[in-house]
Amino acid sequence: CIIKNEPGSIDRLLTSVDRALTNGRITVLLVDPSKDSRTELTGILRRQRLSVIEASEASEAMQVLDQGEAIDVIVIDAESADMEPAALLEELRRRQGEDSVPVIGLCEHGDARSAARFIEAGGADFIRKPFLEAEFCGRVRHAATLQQRIQGLRRAAASDYLTEIFNRRHFFVTGPRLVDQCLRRGEGTSIAVLDIDHFKRLNDTYGHEIGDVVLKHVARRLKALVGEEHLLARLGGEEFGILFDGLDVHQAFAFCERVRVELAKSKIVVDDDDLTITVSIGLATVEAPESFENYLHAADQFLYMAKHAGRNRVMS
Ligand code: GH3
Ligand code: MG
Ligand code: MG
Ligand code: MG
């Protein structure tokens, strides 16, 4: 491949190579009020192919996190930062809960006690200057890698292996919180349980593998229709749950109706065949605090009614 010598083309090539090397790698959020110190630390980290985002104040760091930047580890100057390290750690836990990004403290003058205090407050690691670059980067990389692995396990624990949407466990962990939030805002919410009609027949006719293809297709379509706003999960077998956030009864019903029609219209290409399926949906409204299981049970009963009324319909 020949690269034309356009002005700036080599630069562009280098930055894209650089990006490819750091992408999917480690991103460090560096919090330090001193510009000189930031420049020095950033240089060290970048030489080790770590991406760095700089912040001069804790509030700026919080903004970076709020913007949804994927940060794997925070490195903070524990002596000169504008926020007490313990307070920062506390604030992080308050905002991010179990998902808190690990924080590594740095100091120049502190004694062993400042390290102990930092670790006790929930810090991941503490490094005193002067340090060897290799040790510093090694510790940063170690904390970041551990965090990435934990996040990977979290994702795996929340997702359904076949369809790659959320699983039942995630639905039952997150669902009650979402319902609480809706009720506290003075809004009701609703839960839909969707079940593919005569799925056993489809399995028996085409085989289990084609059945799996259909499940993946339905999950993909559902995800596209439901989006990120509401909570969607595979509850088990050929059954899916949707928890609606911020829709009233009529809106939720209309939404389910649209989902039903879209799924019935959608063709599933299998070998030379175009398969179609229909679904039945039970929709229950939540107006007063009750157990999450009860909401689901109510939706299940409506689903049962939809099946008995002839399938391919929404009942609420
Ligand atoms: P209904 O319209 O009343 O819902 O009938 P149905 O046949 O869809 O319901 P039934 O509960 O009798 O059968 C569900 C079938 O779903 C039985 C089971 O073999 C199949 N199934 C459950 N999990 C999976 C899976 O992961 N893959 C495949 N291919 N089939 C599955
Ligand atoms: Mg079924
Ligand atoms: Mg059934
Ligand atoms: Mg079923």
Q: Over the stretch 175-189, which tens digit does the pLDDT of each residue have?
A: 999 999 999 998 889
**pLDDT in the model for residue 173:** 95
- Asked whether 200 and 218 are in contact (CB, 8 A), the reply is no
Q: Which two tokens stand for residue 277?
A: 């399926």
**pLDDT in the model for residue 81:** 79
Asked if the model's pLDDT at residue 16 lies above 90, the reply is no
Lowest mean pLDDT among 115-119, 140-144, 236-240: 115-119
Whether residue 40 has its Cβ less than 6 Å from ligand 1: no
Q: Spell out the alpha helix ranges (H) of the chain.
A: 9-22, 35-47, 58-66, 85-96, 112-120, 133-158, 168-184, 199-206, 208-226, 249-265, 292-308
Average pLDDT, integer, range 132-139: 95
- The pick from 160, 163, 165, 199 for probing ligand 1's pocket by mutation, whose C-beta has the most ligand atoms within 8 angstroms, reads 199
Task: Point out the ligand 1 atom lying closest to the alpha carbon of residue 311.
Answer: 2
Question: Which run of H or of E encompasses 235?
Answer: strand 231-236
- Asked whether 52 and 30 are in contact (CB, 8 A), the reply is yes
**pLDDT in the model for residue 21:** 40
Report the share of the chain in percent with pLDDT over 70. 92
- Asked whether 280 and 261 are in contact (CB, 8 A), the reply is no
Q: Which two tokens stand for residue 247?
A: 């829709």
What's the CA-to-centroid distance between 237 and ligand 1, angstroms? 6
**pLDDT in the model for residue 96:** 86
Lowest mean pLDDT among 129-133, 218-222, 306-310: 129-133
One DSSP character per residue, 143-166 reads HHHHHHHHHHHHHHHHB-TTT-SE
Whether residue 307 has its Cβ less than 6 Å from ligand 1: yes
Average pLDDT, integer, range 84-112: 88
Lowest mean pLDDT among 4-18, 119-133, 147-161, 203-217: 4-18
Asked if the model's pLDDT at residue 195 lies above 80, the reply is yes
Q: Over the stretch 228-280, which tens digit does the pLDDT of each residue have?
A: 999 999 999 999 999 999 898 899 999 999 999 999 999 998 888 899 999 99
**pLDDT in the model for residue 202:** 96
ipTM value for the complex: 0.96
- The pick from 162, 167, 212, 238 for probing ligand 1's pocket by mutation, whose C-beta has the most ligand atoms within 8 angstroms, reads 238
Q: Tell me which residues are annotated as active site.
A: 238
